[in-house]
Amino acid sequence: MSKSVPIAVFASGSGSNFQAIAEAIEQQKIQARIELVVTDKPNAFVIQRAESKGIPVLVIQPKAYASKEVYEEAILRTLQEKKVEWLVLAGYMRLIGSTLLGAYANHIVNIHPSLLPSFPGKDAIGQAMAHGVKITGVTVHYVDEGMDTGAIIMQRAVEVVADDREQTEQAIHAVEHEVYTKALQSLFNH
Ligand code: GAR
């Protein structure tokens, strides 16, 4: 029998990717279970999404800790208590530091709303539109110490809707939800 992989989802915002992953798990499309949601934003909508699914949430802000190391050590304790094996970043808007990278080497993945290596960092959709590119997309990649620089797992192109940020964003989000599900299936379903 196949086993389900214990994961934590890290998010700072709305959590639509969290929701898509949670639903894909409920539908048994991904052989994983979300043991914990970690957020650095006490008002993030992802908290309500997680609570409505009965998934525990760790709200933890770096400013309450002396350093990034101490902050990540606090997160790590909870991850270890819950025996989490993989970290799935879904709109977590912070660089992962050496503590979590060391504890979860090659077990951290991220989704980014561009065709990396184009437009890393914040507001990738805004960057793509400002450059006037006609095609952008979505990348799922492993996380390393850089900003959106780890090895690429999966990519999908999305057409920019000229001068329409909202429609472009909607198209990208819809593709993200599909591509993240596919990428996590390829990692966890054996
Ligand atoms: C997603 O578009 C994700 O790719 C992006 O944040 C959004 C979160 O949306 N992440 C990054 O830009 C990471 N550099 P969500 O909260 O609705 O899942």
Q: Per-residue confidence of the chain (190 residues) as pLDDT tens digits?
A: 468 999 999 999 999 999 999 999 999 999 999 999 999 999 999 999 999 999 999 999 999 999 999 999 999 999 999 999 999 999 999 999 999 999 999 999 999 999 999 999 999 999 999 999 999 999 999 999 999 999 999 999 999 999 999 999 999 999 999 999 999 999 999 9
- Candidates 176, 183, 175, 182; CA nearest to 153 is 183
The alpha carbon of 82 and the centre of ligand 1 are apart by a number of angstroms equal to: 25
Q: What pLDDT is stored for residue 3 in this prediction?
A: 86
Q: Which amino acids are annotated catalytic?
A: 112
Please report the atom of ligand 1 found closest to the CA of residue 121: 14
If you measure from the C-alpha of residue 132 to the centroid of ligand 1, how many angstroms do you get, rounded to a whole number?
A: 21
Please name which of 56, 39, 58, 46 lies closest in space to residue 21, comparing C-alpha atoms.
46
Nearest Cα neighbor of 107 from 121, 96, 123, 92 is 96
The CATH number linked to 167 is 3.40.50.170
Token pair 């934003």 in the structure block, residue: 41
How many structural domains comprise the chain? 1
pLDDT value at position 2?
63
Tell the residue nearest (CA) to atom 5 of ligand 1: 91
Residue nearest to atom 7 of ligand 1 (CA): 91
